[in-house]
Structure 1
Amino acid sequence: MNKHRLISIFRFDTIRGRIRAYTIAIVCIPITIAALFFIFFQQERLIENEKKQLAEILGQNKNTIKAYVDVCFQDVLFLTKVIKAHRSDMESAAKEFSDYDESHTGISAAVFVNAQGISEIDSMGKPGLYGGDRYYFKQAMMGLSAITTGIKGRVSGKPVCMFSMPVTNQAGEFDGVVFLSILVGELDAWLHGSFVPDKQGLILCDAQGNILAPHRAVASNADDAARQIPLQLMQLGEAGQIFVNDQGVRMLGASVAVGHGGWRLVYFRSVDEILAGYRWLTIFVGLGSLCAVLFMMPLMLRFCRSIEAPLEELTAYALELRKNNYEATGQLCDQKNMPSELRILFDAFTVMSFRVARQIKKAEAVSLKDALTGLHNRRFLQAMGAEFLKKTHSAGQQCACLMLDIDHFKSINDTFGHNVGDMVLQHTARIINASVRSADLLVRYGGEEFVVLVACKDARQGEELAHRIRHAVAAHPLLSDGNELSVTISIGVAVCADMANMAESPESAEAALAVMLIRADKALYAAKEAGRDAVVVAA
């Protein structure tokens, strides 16, 4: 934008300049005040403070969960020692497993599975189950401890978390596996009371994303598989990051590994919730914006009242003219308080629209009429032919196209002159016009050719009309200077019977019209070849 254009936009002696200046002031002042208060004082600082608190919370709870896992594995280690000490007396070992289960209320079952994968000891009293296909058993065979989540206990049928450790015999060979089975609900209850603080948005999940705690994030039905958190959350760093969730909400989140088993502690919270606690800032910004608007309001109202109504009326008037509704008129309700520029503009626009409408009507009338014969011309056929086809189809009829050509017209021009040729065209046009109905569409197609579109029941009816026209022309010779000049015509007839798609698609009607004209032209050529003064119907 050049300098002169910029100056013209903000000139106060024009309506355009006033609108630009006042609009920019009304919009920019409140927004600028709000932006300054919010951006430069609080928003980023609030987010950073939340990140720091988040890092502290994750660190505290990470240690709590790690301690819980260590305690569970210590208990499993104790039970493996029981098995080694009583391998030859499994009844004693089973009693100690049972005593352990009774003294630990959060434990669902304490189980020993032998090297063949069969449970020999089950504190729930259901030994003999096969567990050789379980993840914990396969890990134990490799000498590894494991935490297994995301599965259902074969006895309880409920989601469980399993802490397992391999058992070896005196020779150091694999002799089975001991595991503690803890219901996810029990694990959730313990951790729910241990989180520091019990902060909403803090979630414990396993390596696969299955949620273990807290209770409000776990599936409401204990028989259902555990819910999972998105991979996006698990991949967040410890320092905290801003991200956008699947619902398009900006969130602050972080994720930290808690050690053995791939467990992760995840936290997320919407940015809107973080900022919602500082209501005083929002109120202060709102009051500032309101003061700015109130300061500008008198000026805005005074200016708008003087231009709103006439501009709206002028706009409505212009829209009607754009719709080719040239009969519409524009009237100003209140000219007293209107700026002089608007009055001049409205008067000039009204006069101009009347003149343009008058010229357009004249041009349209001339452009659609043939000056020599007074018939519609080829342009009218192109504009209204497709609509004629659709109306014929809507009435349940077929459409016949008659293409007529005056025989030996070039010889008439060469022999008698172009004045007589024009008289022949006018004479023939009158006869054809008298032979067709007012509802039919008759145009001078070009030169000595005419086209008639007529609604009919079948091709025979269109052919009969063609013969009537041909006989009428032949029976009425042209009288010129006391002499009779015989005139004959050749006619090609084509019928459009298949018009199934015309109602839905204007393009289909236009295409059908074009095809029908081509077929009628070929039939006309055949009539000429047959000796002229003939009618040929397209196959």
Structure 2
Amino acid sequence: MGRRYAFFSNQTIKMRFQLWIGLVVVLFAFSIIVTFYLIEKKDRLHEAENQLKQVVTLQSLYIERWNKEKLDVIKRFAVSDNAKFHRIGELRREFQDYERVGSEFALISFVEEDGYIRSETDPTLKVYVGDRDYFKYAMDKKNFISGVVYSKDTGMPIITFSVPVLGDQNEFRGAVVGMIRLEMLNKLMKQLSFGETGEVYVLDRDGNVVTASVDASNDPTFAQTQMTSEIIQRAKTKSNDDSAYVGFHGDIVYGQYKWASGKSWIIVGEITQKEVFESLNQLSITIIIISLIALIVSIFAAITIASRIEKPIRYLLRATKIIQNGNYDYQISPEKIKMAPIELRELCDTFNLMSEKLKTNITLLEHSALVDQLTEIHNRRYMMLEGNEQLLANIAANQTCSVMMLDIDHFKTINDTYGHLVGDRVLQHVASLLKNNVGGDTIVARYGGEEFILLVLRRNAQESVSLAEDLRRRLMDEPYVNGELTVKLTASIGVAEYSQTLEYGTMILEDMVSRADHALYRAKSGGRNRVELDR
């Protein structure tokens, strides 16, 4: 303790100043590095999870389509007359003709109902396959897609597709079985690698590798490998855990999964933790070095370098938050990377594809959130958001506006009498009439049940009442008609005009809706099929 006191007490003001400034710079740099690292780590992890979900979803669609195409080929043979009536010779010629035109199938065979595959030239030569899963499924009149099995003749991994052959009385007459090698599926998978370590695997329900995006062409036993990593247990238990785990190659990875082909196969995407955070770690080291330089060169240098650190960080955050801030269709211009290696250009194309799909999905979700799925008109949420904004804009422009609440009279009786399907069509009919007869200054939305809301812009109360009367008469004049069924319709309508004094709620639109709803109540209490104006 005494030596430390003597050391500090013997320092000059300049040295003390430098010491304290150095300490401040170190603490300041440390706080910046830690804060930046934690924020960026979270963003990088979120970005990696989204990328994995996109890749896994895309591959799942490929697998489903690939399986369906192959099963359809086998099904076409199974329902043919040659199969039904056991014209085996002609059926085998169909198999041979199909195989000659570039079929992916290594072998297509007909299994008779006793479980034997017989030779065309010598019926005494036969192979019993009645104990195979694909034949058992066929006997149960079910289609079958196997996991990876291995040919007893070649030892190569294959996938089996089978479809039962049924007679005119739906009786079991045998099965058509196709066996396909994995070369074409492997070629498709090789196109789906992403980043430096990102890989996609297709597994069967037991965790055996069917195919993968890595190049396994030089390792014919690769498909026999069983994946035992934690992602398999997550898939089997339907877990939503996104934490890191030890991957297929022993690295710490992040992964996502998706079931495909009726839960026969699992699509797994993995990317190493090292790649996810590699650039972030390199950037952190760079910032530390710059901070140390700032400590050595003086206060001015520290301030200068701090500003130089701030600029790259700001530029980096701006780039990484382009998509985070809602620009889901952000695309990387090919011109900026035209001199880059082909791997990076392919990665860029994959990013652009995922960005486009993400934008499409977000657009569909936004549409679903604002449109009533039954009537295809706006819903209550749209009215309270977009309708409220248009209402406030018109009020700011000194335009008078009104709200109508319309309720179909005796709608419960319609449901009870004709059924809910007719009730739904009546709602669609009313929505169509309202939408086609109100003009461009009126927003029509379904408020809930048999109740509709209309926001009438740039019209006073009397004009809105007149419009309401027109709509009421229109509903009476145009009942719902479907063939011989005619459902007569009437409606009660409540109208409320904008008022500067709010009686209900905290929003102008809420107040107008509440007052229109009270007017609607008076219309229904007064005998229905009428229009009431809020007083």
In which range does the TM-score fall when normalised by the shorter chain? 0.3 to 0.5
TM-score under structure 1 length normalisation: 0.45
Whichever of the two has the greater Rg, that structure is 1
TM-score under structure 2 length normalisation: 0.46
